[in-house]
Structure 1
Amino acid sequence: MLPASNRLRRSDEFRRAVRSGRRAGRRAVVVHQLLRAGPAVEPARVGFVVNKAVGNAVLRNRVHRRLRAVMAAQLPNLPTGSLTVVRALPASASSSYDELADDVQGALRRLDTR
């Protein structure tokens, strides 16, 4: 589980990360990341978007739990002060944990190289 200090909660932060941040897409997820300018005092924060296109509530919750676990493992690798939003695509409903982890890690690697 993600610590409370690492969670995105406010809709304006989600909106800012999605609209102003960089984006990298894979088969099952799209990762949006906004790097803040200046000295970063805050920890990296992560939010998730899993909408009804993914499936029913059971599938959405499963995908959300898996993505949360993947990002908890990735927290030390995220830039300090960054806002990251992981948006699940409909293909994520049929993806295993390992496939989701590969997609998220690939998207994060792609964001790091830009």
Structure 2
Amino acid sequence: MGLPKPLRLKHWQDFQATYQQGKRYRGMYLLLRVLPDPRLNQSRFGIAVSQKVSKKAVVRNRIKRQLRAILLSQRPNLAGGFNVIVVVLPSAVLCKYEHFLRELEQLFKQAGIMNHGH
């Protein structure tokens, strides 16, 4: 299942603005671009997996599915009002779900979009 529509970054303008003005938080497998957007009451997410990660669409899609599942499960813990792009780095090709989960939680905390109490 994909992310619900209000939680998706859809327009290229939003992607572009988040890439250009967003703050970067880098982990071993993932890079987070975070741009505050005061118009939003929920955060919106985009996932970028380039062909540098894997030439195989099957592999890229599996990574995207795993990340979407994590974003859905973490949604209650995340603060609203941000545009977030999760960029997958080439080192993530052999990464397991648990690694993604741990690293995303860490990056969300660094970025200050994890609600307190988690």
Which residue number corresponds to residue 80 of structure 2?
Answer: 80
Amino acid of the structure 2 residue aligned with 1:16? A
Return the letter of the residue paired with 1:68: R
**Aligned equivalents of 2:61 and 2:3: distance in 1?**
15
Q: Which runs of 5+ in 1 are unaligned?
A: none
Percent identity over the alignment is: 27
Structure 2 partner of 1:94: 94
Taking the aligned partners of 2:43 and 2:77, their CA distance within structure 1 comes to 9
- With normalisation by structure 1, the TM-score equals 0.89
CA separation of 1:35/1:41 partners in 2, compared to 1, >3 Å: closer, same or farther?
Answer: closer
Cα distance, 1:41 vs structure 2: 4.6
Q: How high is the TM-score relative to the length of structure 2? A: 0.86
Residues 42 and 101 (structure 1), Cα distance of their counterparts in 2 relative to 1, 3 Å cut: same
Residue 19 of structure 1 deviates from its aligned partner by 1.4
Q: Which residue of 2 aligns with 1:29?
A: 30
* Structure 2: gaps (5+ residues): 114-118
SS of 1:49 mapped into structure 2: strand
Q: Which residue of 2 aligns with 1:19?
A: 20
Match of 1:7 in 2: 8
Q: What is the alpha-carbon distance in structure 2 between the residues aligned to residue 69 and residue 32 of structure 1?
A: 19
Q: Is the CA contact (8 Å cut-off) linking 1:2 and 1:72 kept in structure 2?
A: yes
| 2:116 counterpart residue number | none
CA RMSD, Structure 1 to Structure 2 (Å): 1.5
Query: How many residues end up aligned between the 2 structures?
Result: 111
